[in-house]
Homo-oligomer: A and B are copies of this chain.
């Protein structure tokens, strides 16, 4: 056998397994070394076989994790549609629905697809607890003193250092720590808006951000967002003259999971800089990328200081710690002053624990495992939904984060479907929560940061049945 035909032969065998369904969407391929032994060939031959399969989009590589059967190879369901451009003239109240979803969480034995919160088993709790004990011993005052309002210098330094990886070009002096990303966004809005101002957001968009904007008396314009590439730049341009501030999630928007291409980020920052419109960038999912690199935030292209880059450790490490940050650009002084007035300082302990976690490489290590689990979960969920949901179901293809967005048959109202699902101990987030407009009735968001197991599999199947029986 010639060397060329050898690698093609191996590639062909694997292709057969994929097409026949022996190996399924998201399955991990055996390692190069295992395949080498299996066929008694050189490691280079196996590499060539894998490259061949990858070039045909049948498999895809994940850094430091190996090769997986590609989603693209088998995708059967369509992407969700893009929402229309709408301002908040005829708003619908989401509060009751949000309260209903939150209240349902008290139910015992519930499968929690509704909130964007990772399962406990996904978090390095024992290591964090050890960190707390270590840090307490190190702090003279046990964390009883106020820290300066800007926040822990150690944490700010760790975030700044790590932001250099994606060319953030920040120093510790550019950052202010906050009580999570929501608190960062709240303070940014408080700093740059006044009641009656108009804010642009993606649509669909995280309900918390809408609610904060409304509570501050802002008008919301919902900008169409593509499930893959995010904000529709042309739509934004059409209304830019009406806008006082933007709040976007360029990296893995919630709930769509879209990722703005770098050229769009550059264009966006340029356009907003010219008009002196602040951009509040909610980058709390940015570390949970499924690609090879951490995508840059818009902040990386900000020269005028108009981008207020917000992030947190709530989605990746410890929601309950309430530790986040903002790099507020030219609004820094105002943000620090607000933090001082509102709460004097943030608790020092958790900030030091996280700084220590980052400094010793434990955060990177955890993120790598966490991303792999999420990537694999995303496959499993998509596969289950393709199998158990109606054929006209549309489903997002997130490139990071841990939520899926589903668009169901137009006749379905997920707000009433929710009641049925809750009776069966399954919760999800109805689509109407993600807009102020009269839309997304037939959509839902699912959290996939849960440990994949037979129960989750069965619950997705049961949810599919509920959807099928809904009309």
Chain B nearest CB from A106 CB (Å) reads 9
Least Cβ–Cβ distance between A264 and chain B, in angstroms: 29
Complexed CA–CA distance, A53 and B453 (Å): 78
Is the CB–CB distance between A144 and B123 below 8 Å?
Answer: yes
Q: Is A266 an interface residue (CB 8 A)?
A: no
Given A120-B145, A133-B133, A321-B144: A342 touches B183 (CB 8 Å cut-off): yes
- What is the bound-complex CA distance between A126 and B142, given in angstroms? 8
Asked whether any CB of chain B lies closer than 8 Å to the CB of A212, the reply is yes
| A180 near B343: Cβ-Cβ < 8 Å | yes
Within 8 A of B (CB), among A316-349: 317-322, 337-338, 341-349
Query: How far is A427 from B180 in the complex, measured between Cα atoms in Å?
Result: 34
- A322–B343 contact, CB under 8 A? yes
Tell me if B322 and A346 are in contact (CB < 8 A). yes
Contact of A320 among B120, B126, B348 (CB under 8 A): B348
Q: Is A22 interfacial (CB 8 A cutoff)?
A: no
Say yes or no: is A8 at the interface (Cβ < 8 Å to chain B): no
A275 to chain B, nearest CB (A): 26
Residues in chain B near residue A343, CB distance under 8 A: 179-180, 182-183, 186, 322
0/1 interface trace, chain A 113-153, chain B, CB 8 Å (1 if under) = 00001001001011011001100110011111111000000
Contacts of A208 in B (CB 8 A): 341, 344
Contacts of A140 in B (CB 8 A): 120
Chain B residue nearest in CB terms to A183: B343
Known: A132-B136, A343-B183, A350-B347. Is A141-B120 also a contact (CB below 8 A)? yes
- State the CA gap A337–B128 with chains docked (Å): 30
Q: Mark A392-411, 1 if CB is under 8 A from B, else 0.
A: 00000000000000000000
Q: Tell me if A145 and B319 are in contact (CB < 8 A).
A: yes
Cα A192 to Cα B447 with chains together (Å): 36
CB of A469 closer than 8 Å to a CB of B: no
Residues of B within 8 A of A186 (CB): 341-343
Residues in B with CB closer than 8 Å to A128 are 142, 144
- Return chain B residues, CB-CB under 8 Å to A344: 180, 182, 208, 314, 319, 322
Given contacts A132-B136, A215-B341, 14 further A-B contacts (CB under 8 A): A117-B146, A123-B144, A125-B141, A125-B144, A132-B132, A141-B320, A142-B318, A145-B320, A179-B179, A179-B342, A208-B344, A215-B338, A314-B344, A322-B347
24 A–B contacts from the bound complex (CB under 8 Å): A117-B146, A120-B140, A123-B141, A125-B142, A129-B137, A142-B318, A143-B318, A143-B320, A144-B317, A144-B318, A144-B321, A145-B319, A145-B320, A147-B320, A179-B179, A182-B342, A183-B342, A186-B341, A195-B195, A212-B342, A215-B337, A215-B341, A319-B344, A320-B348
